[in-house]
Structure 1
Amino acid sequence: MHESLWNYAPTSGHTPDDDLTGYSVEATDGQIGTVDKHSGEVVAQYVVVDTGVWIFGRKVMLPAGTIVGIDHEARQVHVSLSKAEIKASPEFDEDKHLGDPAYRDQLGGHYGSGH
C-alpha cells in the first residue's frame, strides 16, 4: 500500500488546522455527501463521508490522498474518485477505522488501484 494515499497531497489545499466537518464532498461525477469526521494524524489521514440518501445513509472512509482539492469558500472537498468507485468501497467500520491496519490496507487496496 502506498503511504502517500493516507496523506493529503501538497496541492490539495489542506492545512493542518483545517476543519472539514460539514464540507460537501464532490466525486468526479457529482456530489456524494458531506464530511462527517476527518483525521489529521500523520500517515493515517482520511475523511469519513456521510452519503445520506445517496447510498442509504452509508458512511464511507476516503484516504486523504484521494482528495485533489479543497475549496474553503464553497466548503467543498473534491476527490479523484467516481461515484461508482466510492459506492463499491469496502463497508465503513466504525470500530476498525482507527486502529486496524488490515482495514486500512483493504481500503488502500480498493482506492489505491489507479490512484
Structure 2
Amino acid sequence: MLRSTKQLYGDSLGTAQGEIGQVKDFYFDDQRWAIRYVVVDTGSWLPGRLVLLSPHAFGNFYQDGESLLVNLTRQQIEDSPVIESHKPVSRQYEEEYFRYYGWPSYWNGDGMWGATGFPMVPPPHLVPIMEQSRDGHSENGNDPHLRSTKAVTDYHIQTHEGAIGHVTDFMIDDRSWAVRHLVVETGHWFAGKEIALSPTHVERISYEESKVFVDVTKASLSGAAEYHLPEPVYHDTKNFDD
C-alpha cells in the first residue's frame, strides 16, 4: 500500500504509554530511495526537541485514525541520542542511534535495509558490527544522501529540454518504506496536471539550484496519465514508469 508524505505531515504518533508528538518531516536516502527517518516534533512532551524514528520503530505501518503507532516506550525515545536540528545528520550520530536501539544498520549490505529489503529486526546475534559504510562515507562525516521531503517539495523538475514542473509529494511503500513515486505538478506545457514519476528517472538532486534532474523528455511525459490521490493509495497507482 502506498502512502502520501504530504497527508502524513501533522499526524500524531503514539506508544502504549500515550502520544509522543507529530510527524514533522521525513528524511530519505537519495541513493536507494527509502525513507530512513520520520522527524517527530515532540511538542509539550519534550519541549524544543526533535526526535528521529527509524522505520524499525514502527513494525507494520499501523495507522489508527490519524495516529501512527510506534513499537517503543516513551522512556526509550526520551533517552535516545539527541539530534541537533540545525545540523545535517552525521554517520557518527546514526551509528550511535542504531547501537542504542540495537537495530541493524541500513548502510552495510546490498539490500535496501542492509541485509534485507525491509526494516526487519533480526535476533541480536545476527546484528552486524557497525563499520564504515560501503559507499565510502566516514563515520564522522555528514551523510549527503539524506534529504528532507519537505525541503525537496517545490524543487523544479529539470530535463535536458528545460523545466517541466515541480515536486508536490512523495509516495512511499508502507512495508519497505521505499519512495515509489515523486508527484510532479507539470507546467503550462501539460496544463498543470499532476503526474507520478519513478525515482529511477532521477539523475541527481541539487540543493544549490533547488532542482531534481531527470532523464525523461517532454514527449515521453506527454502520454503519462494524470495523477489523482485516491483513498487509500494502493500499489496499482497510475504512474509514468519504464
How does the TM-score come out when normalised to structure 1? 0.72
- Rounded to whole Å, the distance in 1 between the matches of 2:35 and 2:97 is 12
> 2:100 is matched with which residue: 89, 110, 114?
110
Q: For 1:33, what is the secondary structure of its paired residue?
A: strand
Over 3 Å counting, the alpha-carbon distance change for 1:53 and 1:17 in structure 2 is closer
- Rounded to whole Å, the distance in 2 between the matches of 1:106 and 1:16 is 29
Kindly name which structure, 1 or 2, has the bigger radius of gyration based on alpha carbons: 2
Contact 1:25/1:77, CA 8 A, preserved across alignment? yes
> 1:60 is matched with which residue: 34, 37, 51?
51
Over 3 Å counting, the alpha-carbon distance change for 1:84 and 1:76 in structure 2 is same
Deviations 1:62-104 (A, max 9, x none): 1111113331x7122111100000000111222132xx21111
> 1:84 is matched with which residue: 75, 82, 97?
75
1:28-67 equivalence runs, <5 A = 28-41=16-29, 42=33, 45-67=36-58
When the two structures are aligned, how many residues end up with a matched partner? Answer: 98
Offset at residue 57 of structure 1 (A)? 2.6
Match of 2:88 in 1: 96
**What residue ranges of structure 1 are gaps of 5+ in the alignment?**
1-12
Deviations 1:25-65 (A, max 9, x none): 11232110001101343455110111111112311111111
Q: For 2:62, what is the secondary structure of its paired residue?
A: strand
Over 3 Å counting, the alpha-carbon distance change for 1:36 and 1:57 in structure 2 is same
- Rounded to whole Å, the distance in 1 between the matches of 2:25 and 2:5 is 12
- Rounded to whole Å, the distance in 2 between the matches of 1:76 and 1:40 is 21
Bigger relative CO (Cα 8 Å, ≥ 6 apart): 1
**Higher alpha-carbon deviation: 104-113 or 48-57:** 104-113
Q: What percent of counterpart residues are identical?
A: 28
Offset at residue 22 of structure 1 (A)? 0.7
> 2:11 is matched with which residue: 19, 23, 28?
23
Q: For 1:103, what is the secondary structure of its paired residue?
A: helix
How does the TM-score come out when normalised to structure 2? 0.37
**What residue ranges of structure 2 are gaps of 5+ in the alignment?**
104-120, 122-242
What's the C-alpha RMSD, in Å, of the aligned pairs? 2.2
- 4+ residue runs over 4 A deviation: none
